[in-house]
Amino acid sequence: MMIYDFKRKLIIYGVILAFFNCKQPYFPPVAKSNLSYLVVDGTILSGPDSTIINLSRTENVTDSAYSPNPETGATVSLAGVNNGTYPLTEITPGKYVIVGLTLSTSQQYHLKITRSNGETYQSDTLSVKYNPPIDSITYSVNNGAVHFFVSTHDPANNTRYYRWACQETWQYHSTSTSQLVYQNGNTITRTAAQRVYYCWNADQSTDILIGSSANLNQDVIYEDPILVDSVLISVYPPNIQLADPTANQKFTVEYSLLVNQFALTAGAFNYWQNLKQITEELGTIFSPEPSSELGGNMQCLTNPNEPVIGYVSACTEQNQRIYLNPSQIYGGTTPDPPLGCYTFLIVPDSINYYLSSSFVFTPLDSDVTTTGVFIGIIAAPAICGDCTMLGGSNQKPAWWPF
Amino acid sequence: MKNATLKICILLLLLQAAFQSNAQRAPLISLHLENAGFGDLVNAIESATPYHFYFDSAQTNEMLITLDVNNKPVTAVLTQLFGKSDWHFAIDDDMNILITRKQEIHSSLPVGFFDRSNETDSSDEMGYLDSLRDESEMQKLNASLENKLFTIGTPGAPLKKGKATIAGYIKDLRNGEPLVGATLSIDHPGIGVATDQFGYYSLTLPRGRYLLRISSVGMKDTKRQVILNSDGKLNIEMTDYVQSLKSVIVSSDKTSNVKGMQMGVERLNMKLIKQVPVVFGEADVLRTVLTLPGVTSAGEASTGINVRGGSSDQNLILFNGSTVYNPSHLFGFFTSFNPDVVKDVDLYKGSIPEKYGGRLSSVLDISTRDGNSKKFSGSGGIGPLTSRLTLEGPVFNDKTTFLVAGRTTYSDWILKAIPDQDYSNSTASFYDLNLNLKHEMNGKNTFYLTGYLSKDRFRYNGDTLYRYENANANMKWKHNFNNQFYGVFMAGYDRYVYSVVSTLNPINAFNLGYNINQGNFRADFYYSAGSSHTIDFGLATIYYKLNPGSYQPVGNQSLVTPTTLQSEQAEESAVYLGDKFNLSSKISLQGGVRFNIYNYLGPHDVYTYAAGQPLSAATLEDTVHYGTNAFIKTYMAPDFRFSGKYEISENASLKVSYNSLQEYLHLLTQTTSISPTDTWILSDPNIKPQRGDQYSLGYYQNLKSNTIETSVEVYYKDMYHYLDYKSGAQLVMNPHVETDVINTNGKSYGVEFLIKKPTGKLNGWISYTYSRALLKEDDPLAGQLVNNGNYYPADFDRPNNLNIIANYRFSHRFSISTNMVYSTGRPITLPVAVYYLAGSERVYYSERNQNRIPDYFRTDLSLNIEGNQKVRKFKHSSWTLGVYNLTARKNPYSVYFTEVNGVIKGYKLSIFGTAIPFITYNFKF
């Protein structure tokens, strides 16, 4: 089936009426359905990396925050139609993993799941689809945002349907350097492991990223947009808060983007395209009506009428990582830190008062007179002195090259 | 006639006594008259006596005198003659005899009132009126025309038995525009006819004298006294009703809704449409239609209308006889019909005349003006988003008229005002053009030429360019064979085309195109066979040619595989015959049959699927090639149209009707609103034609001497083979779209209440409708069915609808209009579960349309200020200012859940969620 994508753009243009329209948060009364269907989220990858299948169950729609409902204690395995069975191991609740699968392209496989209560599920037959290498990940900076694009091609013209997932990792630093840490009533010098000037944070794409070359005469994906990050272009005023609080962090020290590419069958592509439409593209004049979603490729063998959510694909592993530093984004100028930070002196008799309530202030350094007399501790608000307060971790990822 | 003769033969002594002294010295005369005119009497008396008569020949024309007197004084003769009738005479000292009717005799009379030179034998009053300009003169004239007796056929001849036909045009006095749907009625027997699309009427009656009552929406009621001797012509001009504000408006004749045959027909004239406040202030045909009972839409930004539970592709939108596929500009902001060109709009939603076919729900017949036949004139308007100009007038003489009109937008500023850069980089433009020519070759032949072009262009964020275009042209020839029989021949061409071009990504740069073309020919005949039968018959044929999709590369780098879907051809023909039959003065019946033949034609490759299996790529078995003009598939079906009327009393009637219809076109859309890139497809071997039936029953009652019309209509409809789409359907560029759609059946029912006050200082209507529209997928070959094959509400199923349109005219120059709308919120599909997949929370949908958005309520208000009303003034101008959505209620267009940064959030989207003020300036010269 051919893919004609222009209509989605029209959907966006429906917001032409944005001048008059208004979008308000609104939670309509949704009846409790108490449906609990199995959700299978993952792709079988033939290659050295991990194949991860996340199992969870659907929940009622409520206006409170969604909390994951993992399917634990299931038996998950990949079975070749002719031979070979590869069991997956549950490493955290609902997360089933197997590392380093080497699958044959000459036979077909089934993903098999048995719940702890004995209900069994099985995927349609899966062929391991050839997945061509990613040619490049490119970016451009305009309109206050960094736009990333992926390009790939299959000289054999066989792949045609693609899905991508992005994993961003970036290093950033706090505004002030903290030499000290308050521990058990004492302010002591930080150890190397306790340093909180540099942190690393990560994020993953939340949108369904798909592309197709089905209507091209060659199997070429050229600069398919996969990710947009807003960046702080204006240096002043420093207090601007963007909608995404991590936006200002991303391009301050070092940034890395990992793109995983999956080759899809036409059926899988239709599934993702439909799911994208009904879960991401509603809300404009020309939006499609949400309809029941397309069935995936998992079946409940115990109860054939029970819907199973998700579409499992199998392909060879392909990914590419790029690194960006601030000068590539800002062209030399470095943006000011986003928050109004300040430092102040805590006189000795107030140290416990200010520092004992954690996460409010971070001690930076001791202040002494020129003659060496201790007069107090210089402190800053925790979000200025401790990078972990901005969401990241001070643990450097093992693969981080810098 | 006999009555009148009787009356004037009665002798009344009272009057004689009053004039006794004159009679004493008056000469005596003898007269022997039989069926003589008043003129004969005058001549006889004037030649034999010194008396001199003064009278209004327009009034006395009607008299037929049979008199036998011997040696009587003139006074006695006249007394005997006029007797108890409402005629009066007076004789002054100079032996002048003054004859008047109804009125007292004044000592001084208006100059020229009795002037004999006013006498005209022509029953065509047009020339008579041409020289008149002043309003009061027009009124006076109108009054005298109403009192004049028009002799149809050979004057003076003794009346024969049998029937004769009176026919002619009813026109607007001011500009010579024919009035469509004006009604002529006579009280005894209670017969009425309406003028057709050309303002033409034909009425067959027993020979004799009648009082014709003529009424038309927005025009002042008038009447004509006629003596029907033999077949003849009577053209009637009506005056605008605004001008008659000074006088009391007589509304005794507004009985057409009770006496007319039609039910479920709504007529709007442009004057009324212009009063209804709309967003941005420009009179909008479709938005006004939406205020009528039984008409709903999916939302505010949509020009798609849903009539009595039908989908929006089931409305035949005719613009002067041309089919318009997409009547919207700027994605539905505006209706694409220039309000200065439109004359009036008929919406047939109940009994659809057999003349029309090819759509299930309704016919929206929009007729345009022919152009002013009396003088060159123009009109136009300037609004916040659009401006328009119309020029019209006679060419060479009043036999030929032209009208050209154009409208364009400068709406870019509104896009620039949107803070989002994607929109401020966007540009939008549209225009529409009209050309109408009319040539009245002679009384028997009239030619019409209509051209229409509407183009839209929208460039999003400097890249993707959307264009769509309607182009229509037709020629009509109306030929009157005789008074009772005429025909209209029409040939036309209609086209709708859209394209989408994107070149942002050079590798994927494409141009997608779609077009539907149709050539039409039709011949319609009307035969008025006596007072009890009116017959219409005719034939119509349409040749369709669709290019359902072309996807082409743009630029050297583009790798797009050029793809063109096979063109589709079909031919739809129909012959029809209908008869309106007055069974008695109380009961009328109308029956019609329309036989439809549809042929899907080659060249085409048709897919065949495994029998008894769902249509899908997997069950595709074979491809059969058919050559040029091969008959691939033929569908034949008769449509039946029936309606009956029973007049319970003068002011009340009961009507029933039944319709069946076929539709060979289907609009494929996945969105709530019609979007310009939705595609029309033809019925073919795998896609059956849509079919529908409608039953309706109505009660009509006029109150307060016909100044208030009320009605209740109940209907029930079935529809079959409506196309709904499967989940994940690919509707664009799909070579086998039959695999992505599901046959759906539907039913709808409702009751419509209407209270209408068409005239008076306060006018308008209140309508309330309760209706349901339900769909059901029960295609055994469809696999998974929406809502498991149970009935579910259609997107436009809004059970409760209340509309109030009111206009109050303070004076000639100021009027205030309001429009209040309340309706149940439309159905939506809400998720039943939430889950996490592919990096984000997602929602799970199950049953379609099981929830509703909050109710809709809106009030609009506008103030119309007319400029000076002097007719001689070169330019008339008017201002309309108002507020759309006065209460600034944030009426939801949709309620939905969507993923934002990995989290599902619920939103309510309103389109015009604030009060929008508007001002427009309109002018006429």
Residue B895 has pLDDT above 90, yes or no: no
Q: Which residues of chain B are within 8 Å of residue A217 when distances are taken between CB atoms? A: 559-561
More confident residue, B837 or B731: B837
| Confidence (pLDDT) at B670 | 74
Q: What's the mean pLDDT in B649-655?
A: 88
Strands A95-99 and A50-57: antiparallel
What is residue A358's predicted lDDT score, i.e. its pLDDT?
64
A377 with A187: CB under 8 angstroms? yes
pLDDT tens per residue across span B269-291: 887 888 888 777 788 888 888 88
pLDDT in tens, A228-285: 887 754 433 333 443 344 456 788 889 999 999 999 999 999 999 989 988 888 876 6
Contact between chains at A285 and B301 (C-beta distance less than 8 A): yes
Q: Which of A128-137, A266-275, B247-256, B553-562 shows the lowest per-residue confidence on average (mean pLDDT)?
A: B247-256
Portion 234-293 of B in contact with A at CB < 8 A:
none
Contact B833, A58 (CB under 8 A): yes
- pLDDT, position B428: 85
Closest CA to B379 of B356, B407, B421: B407
Helix (H, G, I), strand (E, B) or coil at A271: helix
Neighbours of B107 (CB within 10 A): 6
A348 touches chain B (CB under 8 A): no
Taking 50 as the threshold, does the pLDDT of residue B8 lie above it?
no
Mean pLDDT score, B650-664: 92
- List the Cα angle B449/B455/B461 in 5-degree steps: 175
Domains of chain B are: 2-117 (no CATH), 120-241 (2.60.40.1120), 265-924 (2.40.170.20)
- Residue A216 to residue B508, Cβ atoms within 8 A: yes
Q: Is the bond preceding residue B799 a cis peptide, omega within 30 degrees?
A: no
Name the band, by pLDDT with cuts 50, 70 and 90, for residue B902. Answer: confident
Confidence of residue B100 (pLDDT cuts 50, 70, 90): confident
**Residue B628: CB atoms within 10 Å:** 9
Q: Which of A264-268, A334-338, B76-80, B604-608 has the lowest mean pLDDT?
A: A334-338
pTM to 2 decimals?
Answer: 0.81
Could you tell me which chain B residue has the CA closest to the CA of A26?
B907
Q: How far is CA B360 from the centre of its chain?
A: 18
What does the pLDDT look like over A287-326, one tens digit per residue? 677 766 678 999 999 999 899 999 999 999 999 999 998 8
Instruction: Give the number of other CB atoms < 10 A from CB of residue B903.
Output: 12
Higher pLDDT, B902 or A122: A122
Report pLDDT for B905: 87
- C-alpha dist (Å) from residue B172 to B135, B142, B179, B641: 14, 13, 6, 32
Residue B805 has pLDDT above 60, yes or no: yes
B891: alpha, beta or left? (left if phi > 0; alpha if psi -120 to 50): beta
Secondary structure of A123-156 as H, E, C letters: ECCEECECCCCEEEEEEEEECCEEEEEEEEECCC
Residue closest to B338 by CA, chosen among B449, B453, B485: B453
Nearest CB partner across the interface for A206, out of B560, B901, B913? B901
pLDDT at A239: 39
- The minimal CB distance from B911 to the residues A17, A218, A291 is found for A17
Nearest to A294 among B727, B832, B837 (CB): B727
Task: Kindly report which listed range (B83-92, B335-344, B648-657) carries the lowest average pLDDT score.
Answer: B83-92
Record: contact A289-B301, CB cut-off 8 A = no
Q: Give the nearest chain A residue to B671 (CA atoms).
A: A288
Q: Please, which pLDDT band fits residue B873 given cuts at 50, 70 and 90?
A: low
Mutate: best of A1, A35, A168, A306, partner B, most B CBs <10 A: A1
Which range has the worst mean pLDDT, A1-10, B288-297, B692-701, B729-738?
A1-10
Q: What percent of chain B has pLDDT over 90?
A: 35
Contacts of residue B97, defined as CB under 8 A and 6 or more positions apart, other chains included, come to: B45, B51, B52, B53, B54, B74, B78, B89, B90, B91
Whole-number CA gyration radius for chain B: 32
Q: Does A38 touch chain B (CB under 8 A)?
A: no
Instruction: Output the pLDDT for position A152.
Output: 97
**3-state SS assignment for residue B42:** helix
Q: Note the pLDDT of residue A168.
A: 94
The torsion angles phi and psi of B886, rounded to 5 degrees, stand at: -55, -40
Residue B256's pLDDT band (cuts 50, 70, 90) = low
The 10 Å Cβ neighbour count of residue B447 is: 15
Chain A contact set for B904 (CB, 8 A)? 61, 66, 279
Predicted confidence at residue B332, as pLDDT, reads 77
3-state secondary structure of A40: strand
pLDDT range class, residue B717, cuts 50, 70, 90: very high
* Lowest-pLDDT choice from B421-430, B575-584, B677-686: B421-430
A335-360 pLDDT per residue, tens: 555 556 788 898 888 888 888 876 68
pLDDT of residue B158: 59
Neighbours of B718 (CB within 10 A): 16
Copy the structure tokens of residue B430.
């549209």
Question: Does the beta-carbon distance from B505 to A222 stay under 8 Å?
Answer: yes
CB spacing of A9 vs B460 below 8 angstroms: yes
User: Which among A272, A13, A29 has a CA at the least distance from the CA of B828?
Assistant: A29
Per-residue pLDDT band at B11 (split at 50, 70, 90) = very low
pLDDT band, very low/low/confident/very high, at B423 (cuts 50, 70, 90): low
Beta strands (DSSP E) in B503-567 are 510-529, 533-553, 563-564
pLDDT for A235 equals 39
Mean pLDDT, chain A, as a whole number? Answer: 85
Q: Give the count of beta carbons closer than 10 Å to the beta carbon of residue B812.
A: 13
Convert the pLDDT of each residue in B124-151 to its tens digit.
Answer: 443 333 333 444 555 555 666 777 778 7
Q: Compute the CA torsion angle B378, B379, B382, B386 (nearest 10 deg).
A: -90
pLDDT at A159 over 80: yes
Any chain B CB within 8 A of the CB of A327? no
Question: Is a pLDDT exceeding 50 seen at residue B769?
Answer: yes
CA distance A114 to chain B (A): 20
Per-residue model confidence as pLDDT tens digits over A190-216: 998 999 999 999 999 999 999 999 989
All residues of chain B having their beta carbon less than 8 Å from the beta carbon of residue A25 are 905-908
Interchain proximity B893–A285, CB inside 8 Å: yes
Contacting B residues, span 698-737, partner chain A, CB-CB under 8 Å: 727-728, 730, 732-734
Instruction: Let me know: does A358 contact A381? Beta carbons within 8 Å.
Output: no
Mean pLDDT comparison of B174-178, B859-863, B911-915, highest-scoring range: B859-863
Q: Output the pLDDT for position A7.
A: 41
User: What confidence category does residue A334 fall into, taking pLDDT thresholds of 50, 70 and 90?
Assistant: low
Own/partner pairs for B914-917, CB < 8 Å, 24+ apart?
B914/A20, B914/A22, B914/B885, B914/B888, B914/B890, B915/B883, B915/B884, B915/B885, B915/B886, B915/B887, B915/B888, B916/A20, B916/B279, B916/B280, B916/B883, B916/B884, B916/B885, B917/B881, B917/B882, B917/B883, B917/B884
User: A2 touching B, CB under 8 A?
Assistant: yes
φ, ψ dihedrals at B24, nearest 5°: -55, -50
What pLDDT score does B299 carry?
76
Mean residue pLDDT of chain B comes to 82
Both tokens assigned to B823: 């309706």
| Residue of B736, B737, B896 to mutate for A, most A C-beta atoms under 10 A | B896
Q: Each residue of B388-400: pLDDT tens digit? A: 999 999 988 878 9
How far apart (Å, rounded) are the C-alpha atoms in residues B491 and B475?
5
Q: Does B618 touch chain A (CB under 8 A)?
A: no
What average pLDDT does this structure show over B847-872? 83
Instruction: State the Cα–Cα distance between residues B408 and A188, nearest whole angstrom.
Output: 76
